[in-house]
Chains A and B, each alone.
Chain A
């Protein structure tokens, strides 16, 4: 089955700096890669996603890149703010024959220091 590795597990940055979180996946058939933000005690929320036919996608301070050949994708947060502090999860989704198989990474705890 699919295996998703996520690094780093924890990340501390100064406010205003950039943060990068990387994920690798094993199944080349995976074709959709969402990123979720989970604040302490709250539900995961989708912040950005990328499809397998796209190399990069941006939404304000957040961007995601995908390298299908190397089977890795990354989340980039620029100009970090204290409210960006949370746990971030990547996921790889394989869609085939009308069903989805969802595999999440183990999460990155991001701390933005004011």
Chain B
């Protein structure tokens, strides 16, 4: 157990809908990263937050947004869902935002868009 929690574990929804994925980092970690892992694909970095502020953006679609709250939990919002958005979404947390901070991954949320 990495200490990072994600809810829900599974989510099934329809195309065009909107969902929110939640991540709670390890105690003391200020950075949160979001990743998308499609079937048989690698990990795609979406976005990073540090202490409530956006720090880096990867391949995040405009239909997706995220935020980190004062209590440091983070939410990833996915809207106008398409079949291709079906994937495993991981968040990871790290102590800081330094170059060599180890990232600890949560168990993931499996999103299925029908």
Chain A residues with CB under 8 Å of chain B are: 6, 31-32, 34, 42-46, 49, 51, 89, 91, 93, 95, 98-107
Contact = CB atoms under 8 A, between A and B. Distances in A.
Contacts of A103: 45, 58
A43 to B, nearest CB: 4
Contacts of B44: 104
Given A32-B99, A106-B41, A101 B58 contact: yes
Nearest to A93: B99
A interface secondary structure, majority: strand
B42 A101 contact: no
Given A43-B107, A89-B42, A89-B43, A98 B55 contact: yes
B45 A95 contact: no
A42 to B, nearest CB: 8
Contacts, number: 62
B97 A107 contact: no
A44 B105 CA distance: 6
**Interface band, chain B:** 20 to 34
A54 to B, nearest CB: 11
Contact of B99 (A31, A43, A107): A31
Nearest to B46: A102
Nearest to A95: B99
20 contacts: A32-B100, A34-B103, A42-B107, A43-B107, A43-B108, A44-B43, A49-B100, A49-B102, A51-B100, A89-B43, A91-B43, A95-B99, A99-B48, A99-B55, A101-B45, A102-B56, A102-B58, A103-B45, A103-B58, A105-B42
Contacts of B106: 43
A100 B56 contact: yes
B65 to A, nearest CB: 18
Nearest to B56: A99
A25 B43 CA distance: 15
